[in-house]
Amino acid sequence: MKVKSGVRDLARQRIRWLFKLAYNETKKGNYGRARRYAELIVRVAEKGKIGVPRSIKRSICKNCKVILIPSITARVRIRSEGSKGSRVIVTCTLCGWMKRYYIKAVTYGKKGEGVNKGSKA
């Protein structure tokens, strides 16, 4: 049986609302309540048969389920890997769990290939 689009829309709204609540509770230092909200985010996504948005998924520690806020519950480092790009490393300050994700390097065209080369603007 398919889940109607209205249910999916409601699930997305609930996920955003729960994330805001978890974010505020984490800022206050109430990590237990923030963990509960993070668990509810995952449960609502499963019930609504939608995925958790990438921005929210990257903001939740997979080990202790706390919202990762830079300088409060997370340490963020960028490691350069030359011409390949860079890697962002987020470390949870509560449990020490590390999350790494890759950022591609932006490549431009060959030298001399400009926009409208030879035309007068």
Q: What digits encode the pLDDT tens for the residues 2-36?
A: 557 888 999 999 999 999 999 999 999 999 999 99
Tokens encoding 6: 């209205």
- Backbone torsions φ then ψ of 95, nearest 5 degrees: -115, -10
pLDDT of residue 26: 96
Residue in the block written with tokens 């449990």? 95
Q: What is the mean pLDDT of the chain?
A: 88
Q: Is the pLDDT of residue 75 over 90?
A: yes
Sheet-wide strand order for 85-92: 74-80, 85-92, 98-104
pLDDT of residue 84: 81
Q: Measuring CA to CA, how many Å separate 110 from each of 34, 113, 118?
A: 49, 6, 16
Instruction: Collect all residues with Cβ–Cβ distance below 8 Å to 74 and sequence separation of at least 6.
Output: 61, 68, 90, 91, 92, 93
